[in-house]
C-alpha cells in the first residue's frame, strides 16, 4: 500500500514536470511567433495598416505584445504619419492600442 502511494506521488511529479515542459515550449514558440510577426510588420510598413483584415489581426496581436521591441515596431510605423495614424479608420485602432500598451509597459516597469 505504501509503495503504491509513493508510485502515485512519483507519477504526479512526472506529470507536473511534463506540464511545465509543455508550457515552456508553448511560451517559447509563441514568443518566437510574435517576434517574427512584429518583424514582418515593421518591414511592411504603413501600407498594412490600411488593410481591414490585416488591421484586425494585428490589433489582436498587439494586445499580446510581450516586449518593448514589439511596441517599437508598431511605433515606428505609426510615427511615419501621425495625422494619418489619428484619422484613418483602421489605423486609429492601432494608435489607441499602441498607447494603451505603452502605458501598461511604463506602469509595469515602475513597479
The mean pLDDT value for 86-106 works out to 81
pLDDT tens for 51-75 read 788 778 878 877 777 778 888 888 8
Q: Which residue has the higher pLDDT, 111 or 78?
A: 78
Q: What is the count of structural domains for the chain?
A: 1
For residue 10, what pLDDT band results from cuts at 50, 70 and 90? low
pTM to 2 decimal places: 0.61
Nearest to 96 by CA among 37, 104, 27, 19: 104
Q: Domain range spanning residue 101?
A: 2-110
Task: Give me the helix-helix angle, 2-44 and 68-78, nearest 10°.
Answer: 20
Amino acid at each position: 500500500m505504501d509503495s503504491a502511494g509513493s508510485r502515485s506521488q512519483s507519477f504526479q511529479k512526472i506529470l507536473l514536470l511534463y506540464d511545465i515542459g509543455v508550457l515552456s515550449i508553448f511560451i517559447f514558440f509563441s514568443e518566437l511567433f510574435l517576434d517574427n510577426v512584429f518583424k514582418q510588420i515593421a518591414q511592411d510598413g504603413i501600407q498594412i495598416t490600411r488593410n481591414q483584415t490585416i488591421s484586425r489581426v494585428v490589433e489582436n496581436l498587439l494586445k499580446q505584445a510581450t516586449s518593448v521591441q514589439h511596441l517599437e515596431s508598431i511605433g515606428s510605423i505609426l510615427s511615419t504619419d501621425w495625422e494619418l495614424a489619428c484619422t484613418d479608420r483602421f489605423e486609429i485602432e492601432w494608435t489607441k492600442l499602441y498607447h494603451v500598451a505603452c502605458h501598461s509597459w511604463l506602469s509595469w516597469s515602475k513597479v
